[in-house]
Amino acid sequence: MPEKRRIEITLWGVRGSIPTPVAENLGYGGNTSCVSLCYGDSPLMVLDGGSGLRALGNMVNAQGLAKIELDLLLTHFHWDHIQGIPFFAPLFRPNCAMRFHSIESRDRLKQILQEQMRPPYFPVQMPAVQADIRYLQADKKGFELNGLRIRPFRLTHPDGAHGYRIESPDAVIVYATDHEHGDAKTDAGLREYARGADLLIYDAQYTPEEYTARHGWGHSTWLEATRVAADASVKQLALFHHDPLHDDAALDRIVEAARREFPATIAAKERWSASY
């Protein structure tokens, strides 16, 4: 019987909006959104390119691989989800093959990512990097990538965003960051895409009390996260995209409250790893 291939997941950035590298936040982490997935010997897959991407790149470089190959799937283009890309060390190596994926057209994706690496924003322009770069438009109906089935789905967020359901024959990971609950159709769709997931990573930036003053900002609450997890019968919930104002003590309180609603809850923490 062939050995089961497992999805290995590591969180490199779990913070929302802006990096917060201050002592009181470092228990959970201060870097913005970035998650890596390894599936057997397939190329590395990365979800979002926030500031956490820098540490991932340093780790990849330190491995001394003869060839680096990876796919970066972007949910949207707010700066906290792409700001790590110019600091991703393998981007400047000729032995790196890097593929960027998003719902946008290839030309639009290329334009957006190159724009942040131009004067006066950054001293090195994207065409000058040494990696072999490709820009790809994700099929909204789903696509195969590195032995995994990827199914994008729409989220409610200013300027638009998409989550991803990632399926192997044995496990399902759902990444649904930067979503504001309240639109019935989108919320119902999210629950269907999250159905039965082994791990749901969900935007829980606000407490319910904070959310009353933040309608329209594009983010959800820990309470809504537990409701989605319960409705979709997921096995584990990871609260994600922590608010810059939530220090470690605040997140401890949030995860404690969330576990009273959905016991299988964690608060996402940098360098946390698991296999499914």
| Segment 218-236, tens digit of pLDDT | 999 999 999 999 999 999 9
Q: Is the pLDDT of residue 199 over 80?
A: yes
pLDDT digits (tens, 9 = 90+) for 152-162: 999 999 999 99
In this prediction the pTM is: 0.96
Per-residue confidence band for 5, with pLDDT thresholds at 50, 70 and 90: confident
Residue 33 domain flag: yes
Average pLDDT over residues 248-274: 98
Residue 276 domain flag: no
CA 152/CA 55 separation, integer angstroms = 26
Angle between helices 248-261 and 222-231 (to 10 degrees): 30
Residue 2 domain flag: no
Residue 22 domain flag: yes
Total domain count, the chain = 1
Average pLDDT over residues 53-72: 95
Residue 34 domain flag: yes
Least confident stretch, 2-11, 44-53, 131-140: 2-11
| Domain membership of residue 142 as a residue range | 7-270
Average pLDDT over residues 95-107: 97
Residue 167 domain flag: yes
Q: Is the pLDDT of residue 206 over 90?
A: yes
Looking up residue 172, the CATH number of its domain turns out to be: 3.60.15.10
Residue 1 domain flag: no
Q: Is the pLDDT of residue 3 over 80?
A: no
Residue 35 domain flag: yes
Q: What would the 3-class secondary structure string for the chain be?
A: CCCCCCEEEEEEECECCCCCCCHHHCCCCCCECEEEEEECCCCEEEECCCCCHHHHHHHHHHCCCCCEEEEEECCCCCHHHCCCHHHCHHHHCCCEEEEEEECCCHHHHHHHHHHCCCCCCCCCCHHHCCCEEEEEECCCCCEEECCEEEEEEEECCCCCEEEEEEECCCCEEEEECCCCCCCHHHHHHHHHHHCCCCEEEEECCECHHHHCCCCCCCCCEHHHHHHHHHHCCCCCEEEECECCCCCHHHHHHHHHHHHHHCCCEEECCCCCEEEC
pLDDT at 2: 58
